[in-house]
Amino acid sequence: MDGTIQSVQVPPKFDPWTQPLNFTAPDGNGGWIMLQQDWHVLDAWRIYCFRVGISYGVGFGASLMLLMALLLLTKAEKRKSFIFLLNAVCLLFNCVRCLLFCTWFTGNFNNPYSVLSQTWTRITKDDFATYIAMSIVGILLLALIFVSLSLQVWVVCVTTPPLHRKIIMTVTTSVACVAFGFRVAAVYYNTKLTLAFQDGDSVASLTSNSYVIQVVTIWLYSSIFTFKLGHAILQRRQLNMPQFGPMQIVFIMGLQTMIVPAIFASLQFTNVLPEIVAHVLTVVCIFLPLSAMWAGVVNDQHLASRGPNSHQQLLNAEFCDASRLTTLSSRSNAYDKDKSRQMSV
DSSP code at position 341 = H
Among 343, 338, 342, 331, residue whose Cα is nearest residue 305: 331
pTM score: 0.76
In angstroms, how far is CA 304 from the centroid of its own chain? 31
Q: What is the mean pLDDT of each run of 10 residues along the chain (345 residues)?
A: 70 81 79 82 87 91 91 82 88 94 88 84 88 93 91 82 90 94 93 84 86 87 80 72 58 65 72 74 82 54 48 48 44 42 40
pLDDT value at residue 254: 60
Query: How high is the pLDDT of residue 60?
Result: 94
- Hey, which residues does 132 pair with through a beta bridge? none
Separation between Cα atoms, residue 257 and residue 187, nearest integer Å = 27
State the Cα–Cα distance between residues 183 and 186, nearest whole angstrom. 5
What pLDDT was estimated at residue 137?
94
The CATH number assigned to the domain with range 35-341 reads 1.20.1070
Residue 54, Ramachandran bin (φ over 0: left; ψ between -120 and 50: alpha; else beta): alpha
pLDDT attached to residue 331: 45
Question: What does the pLDDT read at residue 10?
Answer: 80
Q: What residues contact 138, with CB distance under 8 A and at least 6 apart? A: 97, 187, 281
What residue segments make up the domains of the chain, in order of their start? 35-341
- Residues 210 and 185 sit within 8 Å (Cβ to Cβ): yes
- The phi, psi pair for 326, rounded to 5°, reads -120, 105
Q: What is the pLDDT of residue 241?
A: 63
| The pLDDT value given to residue 327 | 43
Distance of CA 89 to the CA centre of its chain: 13
pLDDT per residue over 17-59, tens digit each? 878 888 888 877 777 888 888 888 888 888 888 888 898 999 9
Residue 299 is classified by DSSP as T
pLDDT at 219: 85
Looking at residue 141, its pLDDT comes to 94
Q: What pLDDT sits at residue 271?
A: 67
CA–CA dist 251, 105 (Å, integer):
40
